[in-house]
Amino acid sequence: MSTSRRRSRDSVGDVSGQNTDVIPAQRRGARQILAAGIGNTAEWYDWYIYSFLTRYFAPQIFPGDNALAQTLSSFAVFAVGFFLRPIGGLLIGALADRWGRRNTLTLTILTMGAASLIIAITPTYASVGILAPVILVFARLVSGLSIGGEFAANTTFLVESAPEGRRGFYSSFQYVSTTIGQLIASGLATVLTLTLTSSQMNSWGWRIGFAVGALIALVGLWIRRAAVETHVPPVEHKPHLFEAIVRFPKPSLLIIGVTIAGTISYYTWTTYLPNYAEQNKVDPSMALLISTISLAFFGAIQPLVGSLSDRIGRKPLLIIFAAAFAVGIVPGLALIRSGPSFGGYLLISLLGMVLLSGFTSISAALNAEIVPGRVRAAGIGFPYSLTVALFGGTAPFIGTFFAERGNPGLFGWWVALLCVVSLVVYIVMPETSRKPLAD
């Protein structure tokens, strides 16, 4: 274990106000995972409830009578929020390096809750005109800033809490908690669409989803009070804002290359797929139900794949994931456009989730293993969030754009191309799973 990590572990009791010596290691580890996970769940619930309910609130917020154009506008706002993520990753990541992970995670969950509440009470275009989409854009910008910082601080906090040889397992809970947030969002959206009429959903039902997001954030704030700090910032020299980028440009570029395939595949398969299916005449209720089942399966397999990476390394799983998506995404989306049965659509969705877990379960560990500890949060947060903004956040918008132009099949080729780019990176990069975390 590195010197800085030993110093951090020895000092965390003083930083958090708790005596960690009297807490069993297993219980302490579970508590750290829960503290990291609850905020991640809250963040991503908010992000995905927006996607799942966009077809209901878009006509209320944006002018016009073209439903597809309103959906496109809604996804454009979704993408705009992503472009605040790199700034959040840099600013809040630097704060986590200077101020500690635990305090920063408290800030991000408060910000997320505020953004969710703003959307819940956003007035309609009919009542306030252009101010309605302006308020929505503001809320997504706040959310984007928060989630960029959340990932930066959360990733470092979670992996730094892991014992040696267990970083892949701990890392997997990044996407377990993300999936729980998606699952709650998908499940609630399904319940709302099955119990409320279309008129009720369009007028006020969609607001329930965002109000629940604000409540989840409050629960997360309470749980994080028990978290133990994992990083004691140096007193003599605190890292400056751009230190990670200036001093460690190679790790920053490596994180970008690693993330490209993962983010486009993730947002395509977990966020955009239900909307893609609906655009191609699949029943909306069936699409949401299959999404819910697939997400539950996806979350369940994360620790298994993460533990596997601790045994065989990160590279084999990454190579299999990128190669399979590069080859399979075009025929997979074509099968969905053909109008498959419930069982056929579910099988396609589950297979994609298995392959995708080769990236998601180890993403946090891999990023933390690439960047030195003193600048780890900012060093991960900025390049990762920038890549997600450019390639992940734009996935629903690009897919909808191709559909509006009458060429939905082009989207699959776009995803395949980006997977090939990352596949090359995975092949040439060094294995990181056996190395201790750098100072």
Q: Which residue segments constitute the domains of the chain, with CATH numbers given?
A: 12-428 (1.20.1250.20)
pLDDT of residue 258: 96
Residue 201: what pLDDT?
92
Mean pLDDT is lowest, of 22-36, 147-161, 333-347, for 22-36
At residue 4, does pLDDT exceed 50?
no
Whether residue 10 is predicted with pLDDT greater than 70 in this model: the reply is: no
Tell me the pTM.
0.80
pLDDT value of position 81: 72
Q: With pLDDT > 70 as the criterion, what percentage of the chain qualifies?
A: 90
pLDDT of residue 330: 92
Highest mean pLDDT among 69-73, 272-276, 279-283, 299-303: 299-303
Q: Output 347 or 151, whichever has higher pLDDT.
A: 347
Q: Rounded to 5 degrees, what angle do the CA atoms 141, 270, 401 make?
A: 65
Q: What is the mean pLDDT of the chain?
A: 85
Residue labelled with tokens 């039902």: 205
CA distance 359 to 314: 9
Winning range, highest mean pLDDT, from 42-46, 122-126, 132-136, 262-266: 262-266
Q: Report the range out of 73-82, 240-249, 307-316 with the highest average pLDDT.
A: 307-316
Q: pLDDT value at position 267?
A: 85
> Who wins on pLDDT, 14 or 247?
247
Per-residue confidence band for 206, with pLDDT thresholds at 50, 70 and 90? very high
Q: What is the pLDDT of residue 27?
A: 60
**Range 87-91 average pLDDT:** 89
pLDDT single digits (tens) 317-354: 999 999 999 999 999 888 888 877 888 889 999 999 99
pLDDT-wise least confident of 12-26, 53-67, 339-353: 12-26
Residue predicted with more confidence, 11 or 26:
26
